[in-house]
Structure 1
Amino acid sequence: MNMISCKNVSFAYDNVVTVKDLNFSIVDGDYFCIVGKNGSGKSTLLKGLLHLKKPFAGIIEMHNRLAPAEIGYLPQQTSIQKDFPASVYEVVLSGCLNRLGFRPFYSKNEKNVAEHNMERLGIGHLKNKCYRELSGGQQQRVLLARALCATKKAILLDEPVAGLDPVVSQEMYELIQTINGQGITVIMVSHDIPSTMKYAKHILHLHHTQLFFGTAGEYQNSDIGRRFIGKETYVQPDA
């Protein structure tokens, strides 16, 4: 069943169209990867999916009562954000902000959600540590736990392994795959084509417009896929 549908969607800045003619859907439980060169429109699309940027044309439909605020978001970090002087628990708990409504304080339920997601990602023992004292991999786990506090349905990840070493990157991908296996829809922007081909169910390739949308297997056999992947061949595992 579709979770998000984009129909003839375009985006513009100062009335100049930068991304156009997007037509695709994301289904419940999908592992959906968005690829393309820098400046191809990936970040603009993410803003659109989060309803932070309004389409210039077309429509983005949320199905099954999904609200933009119910999509957990893990953005790329800036150097200032990496130096944030808060505890791990405070950062993770902040993912529950949208649950508060008009209440000024977190309830026991929200605190339990934060505790659960820290344990879920193996960072419960870091609860009282200062976020800025953590390694890059630990910080990404904290931010992923924060994103999970915001949702029971979907997470949107913008280059979640950027700057991480290969071992930590692999651990992160395995965590994300586990989360996807637990019923959370994954929407990820990635430049890591080998891992995209290993984990993704569907791929959207952008270059100011939609060059490809389909399964990872179809992408591997497409002209744009072969050009983008290069000479190496990645085998899509059986579903």
Structure 2
Amino acid sequence: MKLISCEGVTIGYDGQRAVNNVSFDLEQGDYLCIVGENGSGKSTLVKGLLGLIKPQEGSITFNGIAPNEIGYLPQQTVIQRDFPASVGEVVISGCLNRRGLLPFYSRAEKDRAADKMKQLNITDIQKKSYRDLSGGQQQRVLLARALCATEKLLLLDEPVSGLDPVMTADLYQLVARLNQTQGITVLMVSHDLESAIKYGNKILHMKTETAFFGSTADYLKTEMCQRMMGAKI
């Protein structure tokens, strides 16, 4: 089943096209990696998928999921890393889009947050300040927060930026396990082409337009993949 279909999506700023005529489908259970050089429109496309920017041309169609039901893990800024809240408060805030205008978290939402913290092995730090955690711990917390928001789709924008190799491998394995064992669809923006090829079953290569969309196996055969990897594969 197609969760998202993008057809000829164009998004621009100040007369410039940041995303130009991009088309792809995201099927339930996919692990789709969006790759491309800086300035190729990857993060702008993410904003379009989240409903933060409307396409100037083309369409984004959702099937069985709404933008506010996407679990989103954004790139972290310095300010976000210094956020003065407890781990538990950050995690349960992922339920905000699901709960409407209700003033307090329900028992079900509190149980959901507790379950996600247990799942990601961060229950023992739930009362700690988020700002005092390591980069890897913070990303686990944000992933738990994203899981509170969704049952179906995780959208990750450069999730390993700033992490050391051990923490990077840990996060990739966590996301892969969620995809493989729980059937959660993953859409990840990444500069890490090697890991995108290792974990993703589909690749969208952007150069503001769609340079390639298809299976990872087919992408490996392309000249652009070989050029970006620096050697023939």
Task: Give deviations 1:184-222, integer Å, cap 9, x for gaps.
Answer: 110000011111111001000001111000111111101
CA distance in 1, matches of 2:206, 2:10: 12
CA distance in 1, matches of 2:199, 2:110: 32
User: How far 1:111 sits from its partner (Å)?
Assistant: 0.3
| 1:152 partnered with 2:151 | yes
CA distance in 2, matches of 1:124, 1:18: 41
User: How far 1:232 sits from its partner (Å)?
Assistant: 5.9
Residues 202 and 214, structure 2, Cα contact 8 Å, conserved in 1: yes
* Structure 2 equivalent of residue 57 of structure 1: 57
Task: Using the aligned pairs only, state the percent identity.
Answer: 56
* Structure 2 equivalent of residue 207 of structure 1: 207
> Mind listing any 5+ residue stretches in structure 1 that lack a counterpart?
234-239
User: How far 1:98 sits from its partner (Å)?
Assistant: 1.2
Residues 69 and 98, structure 2, Cα contact 8 Å, conserved in 1: no
Q: How does 1:22-37 map to 2 (within 5 A)?
A: 22-37=22-37
* Structure 1 equivalent of residue 171 of structure 2: 172
CA distance in 2, matches of 1:18, 1:98: 28
CA distance in 2, matches of 1:99, 1:8: 30
Seen in structure 2, the aligned counterparts of structure 1 residues 232 and 132 have a Cα distance that, compared at 3 Å, is: farther
TM-score if structure 2 supplies the norm length? Answer: 0.97
Q: How does 1:177-196 map to 2 (within 5 A)?
A: 177-181=176-180, 182-196=182-196
Task: Give deviations 1:30-62, integer Å, cap 9, x for gaps.
Answer: 100000011110010000110111001000000
CA distance in 1, matches of 2:221, 2:206: 17
Task: Give deviations 1:55-76, integer Å, cap 9, x for gaps.
Answer: 0100000012x10000010001
Provide the alpha-carbon RMSD of the alignment: 0.9
> Mind listing any 5+ residue stretches in structure 2 that lack a counterpart?
none
* Structure 2 equivalent of residue 107 of structure 1: 106
* Structure 1 equivalent of residue 231 of structure 2: 231
User: How far 1:18 sits from its partner (Å)?
Assistant: 2.4
* 3-state SS of paired residue (2:187): strand
User: How far 1:146 sits from its partner (Å)?
Assistant: 0.3
CA distance in 1, matches of 2:98, 2:74: 20
| 1:12 partnered with 2:9 | no
CA distance in 2, matches of 1:87, 1:147: 16
Number of aligned residues: 232
CA distance in 2, matches of 1:141, 1:186: 16
